[in-house]
Structure 1
Amino acid sequence: MTGEREASESAYAALTDETRVRILLTLADRYDEAWSSGGPTFSELREQVGVEDTSRFSYHLSELQDGFIQKVDGRYRPRIAALEIVAAIRAGSYTTQNGDKQYEIQEQETEYECPHCDRNLVAAYQEHHLYIGCPDHGAAVAYPTPPRATENRPLDAVIDATLRNHACDVRLLRNGVCPHCWGAAGLSLPRDSVPETYLHQDVPYATAACDTCWLSYPIPIAQTILGHHAVEALYATHGLRPRDAQIGPHSLTEVSSVRTDEAVSAAARVEVGLADGSVEFDLDENCRIRRYGASDTEQIQ
């Protein structure tokens, strides 16, 4: 870990100068040119960044090489690390501080009722998180969401974008990939307890976790099948939106039955029922889908 920490500190130390950050932003903005012309030359890049002192620019460029940029045939290209840094900056994750009122969205009532009472859930965006919960029963979810997601979007559109992103995350986790650091990650069951603020404390939970980064949170077993094409097809057939699988009266948590007893030939069996249609999923202990199909029938693939 010491070597990894030192490497990380060295890499981020290279980004402490404004000129170096401008170099990365410029290369990223012209990333498409790298595929046709190979990227800018030293002189072209210096002019684009706006630095007159050649020696000073050469020094900053050398500090970024190997880790963040590469030189090929006299032209400069951003590496993946540079593109990731620029994406985080543009998303507002670095440049916008928690508590920045410009990006806050005050609490608003949603169309969805709390599963424990007849009050509508409320949502708000604060401190880089989308919060959705009940005024009486606490926060149901708190999704990490960068400030850029709120730009030119009403709160309802932020909810939609965030939940779509979360469904993609779950699909990656189900396949063993962390959606944030690309490390080994996954879903596992059972999980015995969840925070008291979670609205669905009375349903069986699994755990989403990464072996490398910070990612770790409880997730209802029913929602570990998010993003699967059979689920999306079932919801579309009934005129429901993808977000309806995560929140509201038609969420997977509300319309599914989950069995984890010895009577089923799987670590967990999830049956999703909507009106006249249903799909059944057999999951292993890592929530990987081993069989799915119409209830009480053979697998449909």
Structure 2
Amino acid sequence: MSTEDDDTDERTTLPPTEAFRLLSDGTRLQTLQGLVELTAAGGYGSEPVSFSDLHAQVETDDSAHFNYHLQELQDQFVAHTEDGYRARYPARKVVRAIKAGTFTERAELADGPIDGTCPQCGECDLRASYADERLAVRCAACETDLTANDFPPGGFEERSLADVLHAFDRLVRHRVSFAADGVCPECTATMDGHVTTDIPPEWGYEALPAFDCVRCDFSVLPSFGMLLLDHPDVVSFYREQEADLREPPFWELALCVSDRFTTIESREPWRVTVRVPGENSELVASIEGADVAEVVLE
């Protein structure tokens, strides 16, 4: 909990090379894993871990050797108090990355059929593939690439293909939501929103909103229509049409993977209109730059 005395600008920065040097020894990685696992086993609000309990998690009988490596981890990865040891956020992040298989696992999914309807041609001939940690969905009937996004290999563990695709859909939606709110989904730093025309020709878009992290360079490039998925007026409009935007995966929504509803009104400054047709009315969204400015019913 922050107070008025907190100085949020006062922080120290460890050079990346030094941070990775601290993790270059197997004993230290075992120590971090053991500390995080013991803390998790103790439940929420668990007490600090004692030296002896932590030492028991590491494959070394030499107490002095273990203590040396433990001290190297302190401050940046491990907090030490008179009650014991706690894993700091960087330690938990490292262990989660290890468990997620981010650095150690590979997964592959051969191009194969999946359920669903192409929003471009209406055919039920969608196919999914996974390579180089990117999950892609395309329509074999009209040869349209509907989406391709990063997806951790750990997302395949103990999941059916249908469950993997559901997780992928939710992950991409949340990334866009975070980015549009100005929060990087990777590191929580600020996302800079703008419009770009630097787009591969095969994507089929003239322009896209782009969100780039000012810290870690993570980027999100949704369609203009995808910026509207969580807007309350858009959700209500679809509900009145007896449609739920949360149910179909985003790659089955023409609003998300097509620019057929999008009109570029101005380039300096960027102004875009997205028109969503209904049975008896039309929803019109005005987007200025990468921000939704107004949504009206006509």
The TM-score, its normalising length taken from structure 1, stands at 0.80
Task: Give the residue type in structure 1 aligned to 2:20.
Answer: Y
Question: What per-residue deviation string (whole Å, max 9, x for no partner) do you get for residues 278-299 of structure 1?
Answer: 54433332x2233335x13xxx
Which of 155, 177, 185 matches 2:191?
185
| 1-structure distance, mates of 2:277, 2:259 | 6
AA aligned to 2:261 is S
Shift of 1:213: 2.0
* Equivalent of 1:259 in 255, 259, 263: 263
State the Cα deviation string for residues 108-145 of structure 1 (Å, max 9, x = none): 12323272685723111222111112446364422111
Q: Once the 2 structures are TM-superposed, how far is the Cα of residue 151 of structure 1 from its aligned partner?
A: 0.9
Instruction: State the match for 1:71 in structure 2.
Output: 80
Deviates more, 1:232-241 or 1:138-147: 232-241
* Aligned with residue 219 of structure 2, among 216, 219, 244: 216
Structure 2 spans left out of the alignment, 5+ residues = 1-11
Match among 53, 57, 60 for residue 44 of structure 1? 53
8 Å contact from structure 1 (residues 225, 231) kept in 2: yes
In structure 1, distance between residues paired with 2:79 and 2:71? 10
The separation in 2 between residues aligned to 1:277 and 1:154, in whole angstroms, is: 40
1:288 aligns with 2:296: no
* Secondary structure in 2 matching 1:9: helix
Whether the 8 Å CA contact 1:271–1:279 is kept in 2: the answer is yes
**Counterpart pick for 2:117 among 112, 115, 138:** 112
Counterpart AA for 2:168: T
Q: Which residue of 2 aligns with 1:19?
A: 27
**Following the alignment from structure 2 to structure 1, what is the Cα–Cα distance between the partners of residues 205 and 46?**
59
Q: Give the Cα–Cα distance (whole angstroms) in 1 for the partners of residues 244 and 259 of structure 2.
A: 13
For residues 138-192 of structure 1, the C-alpha deviation after alignment (integer angstroms, 9 at most, x for no partner) is 6442211111100121222212111211111111111111111222213322x32
Q: CA deviation at 1:233?
A: 4.9
Greater displacement, 105-114 / 135-144: 135-144
Cα-to-partner distance string for 1:247-280 (whole Å, 9 max, x where unaligned): 1255434597223316xx9823323345567544
Provide closer, same or farther for how the CA distance between residues 138 and 39 of structure 1 changes in structure 2, counting only shifts above 3 A: same
**In structure 2, what residue type is equivalent to 1:8?**
P
CA distance in 2, matches of 1:245, 1:271: 20
Structure 1 Cα separation of the partners of residues 57 and 192 of structure 2: 43
**TM-score, reference length from structure 2:** 0.81
1:194-209 mapped onto 2 (5 Å cutoff):
194-198=199-203, 201-202=204-205, 204-209=207-212
SS in 2 for 1:107: strand
How many percent of aligned residue pairs carry the same amino acid?
23
* Residue type of the alignment partner of 1:78: A
Equivalences for residues 45-194 of structure 1 within 5 A: 45-96=54-105, 100=106, 103-110=107-114, 111-113=116-118, 115=120, 118=123, 120-135=125-140, 137=143, 139-189=145-195, 191-194=196-199
- Listed as ranges, the matches of 1:27-38 within 5 Å are 27-32=35-40, 33=42, 36-38=45-47
User: Aligned pair in 2 of structure 1 residues 89, 273: CA closer, same or farther (>3 Å)?
Assistant: farther
Q: How far apart are residue 78 of structure 1 and its match?
A: 0.8
3-state SS in 2 of match to 1:56: helix
SS in 1 for 2:99: helix
Q: 1:25 touches 1:86 (CA, 8 Å); kept in 2?
A: yes
Provide, for residues 224-246 of structure 1, a one-character-per-residue CA deviation record: whole Å limited to 9, x for no partner.
23333444455566344526362
Question: How well do the aligned residues superpose, as a CA RMSD in angstroms?
Answer: 3.1
**Partner SS state of residue 48, structure 1:** coil
Equivalent residues of 2:126, 2:138 under 8 A apart = yes
In structure 1, list runs of 5 or more residues that go unmatched.
297-301
Deviation, structure 1 residue 50: 4.4
1:269 aligns with 273
SS in 2 for 1:244: coil
Amino acid at match of 2:55: R
Q: Deviations over 1:185-227 (max 9, x none)?
A: 13322x32421332xx156422222222232354321112333
1:37 and 1:167, CA in 2 relative to 1: closer, same or farther beyond 3 A?
A: closer
Q: 1:210 to 1:43 in 2, by over 3 A?
A: same
